[in-house]
Structure 1
Amino acid sequence: MTAMQYFWRHPLAEQVREEGRVQAKAEMTLRILEWRGIAVPDEVRERVESCTDLDRLELWAQRAVHAADAAELFVDE
């Protein structure tokens, strides 16, 4: 049992969880735009999918809710 508890505290386990959170946030950001009927150009998709900063992805997801077009995600950057 101790080995199993240790695994969840292991840095590798935390890295895998963080990567999953980043990927999920990137996917959600793109989905919000798509659900709203906003075209997502390849360059926007690539920029969102390649981002590893969870805080930046959160900001982009919030912007996606109100954006008139996909490029508005990156305003002021």
Structure 2
Amino acid sequence: MVEVGLESTPARENWRKLMQDVVTHFPGHGTLFEERYLEGKAEGEAKGILRVLEVRGLAISDDVRARITTCTDLDRLHDWLDRSGTVERAEDLFVEGSPDS
């Protein structure tokens, strides 16, 4: 919002330079930029999982869709994405006893 408010002033360019430096401080520092970046990655992974399941013609219940789209654990999402190409049912992503359940 700050950048938008600065419009096309010289202060906007200074702001952008400052923000470039801030972004380089993650991962691992818990900055707002890092949080938003990781949220975006998780959202993209979830969309990918759902897309694979849809293309394969598997039924996706509201519960499965909610579990996938609300997950923020990137490792789990990566595993689900890998498995989404081979499961027989969407629910099988969460089979008890598997490392992703």
TM-score normalised by the chain length of structure 1: 0.89
Which residue identity is paired with 1:3?
Answer: L
Query: Equivalent residue for 1:72?
Result: 92
Instruction: Number of aligned residue pairs: give it.
Output: 77
Candidates 1, 14, 29, aligned match of 2:49: 29
Task: Give the ranges of 4+ consecutive aligned residues of structure 1 lying more than 3 Å apart after TM superposition.
Answer: none
Query: Offset of 1:56 from its aligned partner?
Result: 0.4
Q: Identify the residue that residue 71 of structure 2 maps to in structure 1.
A: 51
Higher Cα radius of gyration: 2
Q: CA RMSD in A?
A: 1.4
Distance 2:64 2:88 in 1: 14
Following superposition of structure 1 onto structure 2, how do residues 5-44 of structure 1 map, counting pairs within 5 Å?
Answer: 5-9=20-24, 11-44=31-64
Measured against aligned partners, the alpha-carbon deviations of 1:22-59 in whole angstroms (never above 9, x if no partner) come to 00001100110001000101100000011110000111
Counterpart CA distance in 2 for 1:59 and 1:44 is 15
More helix by share: 1
Pairwise CA distance, 1:5:
2.2
Gaps of 5+ in 1: none
In structure 2, C-alpha distance between the alignment counterparts of 1:5 and 1:41, rounded to whole Å = 41
Q: Scaled by the length of structure 2, what TM-score is found?
A: 0.70
Post-superposition Cα deviations, 1:9-32, rounded to whole Å, max 9, x if no partner, equal 362111111110000001100110
| Identity, % of aligned positions | 42
